[in-house]
Chain A
Amino acid sequence: MSKAKEHLDKIMLELRRGTITIGVLSQLKEPQYGYSLVKVLEEKGVNVEPGTLYPLLRRLEKQGLLVSKWDTDETRPRKYYLLSPLGEEVFDLVCKEWKEMTEVMEKLISPRGDGGKTDGFD
């Protein structure tokens, strides 16, 4: 059982890597600072470690998908991130791809024809 769990973890890790990026892009139509984004994602059921999220934000900014701005008005300076026009465009494209992909995957993994019966055993 633990062997299966190990494999599951490995596969999920790979899967999550890509989805986190999409998740982050999806939440940045409004400006967010790092920790508020962690919280927002958490509320919606996506657990991202801060240690993963922060470098990711920076990387996306470097790639031009996000823009950032330091807000020094508050008691504590915070860096806010927001989708750039390019980021919005990319996000829309990714969403389309994602929907197609999930449809295809759904067809692949759900049993053919009717509700979940496997053939041959009664």
Chain B
Amino acid sequence: MDLIDRYVYAVVRRLPHSQREEVAAELKSLITDMLDERTNGNPADRKDVKIVLLELGHPREMADKYSESRKYLIGPELYDSFMTVLKIVLLSIAFAVAVIFAIQSILEPHHLLDHFIDFILSLVQIPIAALGWVTLIFAGIQYFGIKSVKNLDDLESWDPEELPEVPDEKSVIKRSETIINIIFTIFFGFLIGASYFAIPAIKSGDSFVSVPFLNKESFSVYFPLILLLVGFGILKEILKLVSGKWTKKLAIQISLVSLLSLATVLIMIALEAPFWNPDFMSELAGTGIIQPGTELYQTIERIWSNGTIIIVILTLFGFVLDSVLAFFKSVKNV
């Protein structure tokens, strides 16, 4: 009877592979028993089968009863943080996309329609990707981080002395702080991604131009790594949001993420592809805002030629500072 097979399949496909064969055989014999009972041993028709299956209940409900614990991609203890982060991320993306649309429209007003189409496309595509990433990060935290109580012993032998202190004001991580950081990180990612990481200038009165910091040719090589850095930045904030207070565990997590960010920066350097716009100085001079030979020009040139080393030192310093501060804040409150 194909209805029975279909029902059994609908149940077991929701179960782990190891259980499927056994449960299927058992369910089938149960259903035939129930049918026999109904028809007193006479052959059952489709209507009988339907009644019996309806009595058994929806396949999903049945499968739920078979599987012992519910498995969560993002469990109830993380759900609130997940929704908060998702809202922040989506809102800041919408904001960033809108700002970029505005910039593009001002810079190139005659391509308004193109920019508008880009704008709409971005509004559709980027939030979906962001949803994916945020979900992935939270699923990772759920999978690796949240330990449900392992066994009953843990619940029975506990010492009230071991309960964590109520965090004082200083160790509580302000939600507003993490939210602002996420918005800032996303916005920064967008500026780079839209290659508007540049100095805007008005070229001798006729039109807007911008002098990009980055090398357009090798940009595609770096962009995934920059995205990764943005991702790490957001991950840090999410960890802070989930933890809610400064703890040693959080400090270790933050240090790990910082280490990964650092590794990403080092990879970017190791790639040795030209990262910066090689014509930056001449383009800057071309805009007319800075004349070659002036003191300001020389200062900028000096900073520019040492750009990589300065940025690397700054990021290094930033990541180390992040970790050290995290440890400091966690220890201070013990």
Contact = CB atoms under 8 A, between A and B. Distances in A.
Interface of A: 33-36, 39, 49-52, 54-56, 58-59, 62, 70, 76-79
Given A51-B57, A77-B25, A79-B25, A58 B66 contact: yes
A35 B65 contact: no
A104 B57 CA distance: 37
Residue with the highest number of chain A CB atoms closer than 10 Å, among B25, B33, B62:
B33
A70 B32 CA distance: 16
Contacts of B65: 51-52, 55-56
B55 A35 contact: no
B34 interface: yes
A20 to B, nearest CB: 12
Interface of B: 23, 25-27, 29-30, 32-34, 37, 55-57, 61-62, 65-66, 68
A76 to B, nearest CB: 6
Contacts of A55: 62, 65-66
Nearest to B62: A51
A36 B37 CA distance: 10
Contacts of B26: 34, 54, 58, 79
Residue with the highest number of chain B CB atoms closer than 10 Å, among A58, A62, A70:
A58
A78 B27 CA distance: 10
Contact of A34 (B30, B37, B66, B68): B30
A102 to B, nearest CB: 25
B172 to A, nearest CB: 38
Given A49-B57, A50-B56, 12 more contacts: A33-B33, A34-B33, A49-B55, A50-B34, A50-B55, A51-B56, A51-B62, A56-B65, A58-B26, A62-B68, A76-B32, A77-B25
Contacts of B57: 49, 51
A109 B8 CA distance: 45
Contacts of A51: 55-57, 61-62, 65
Contacts of A36: 33
A52 B114 CA distance: 60
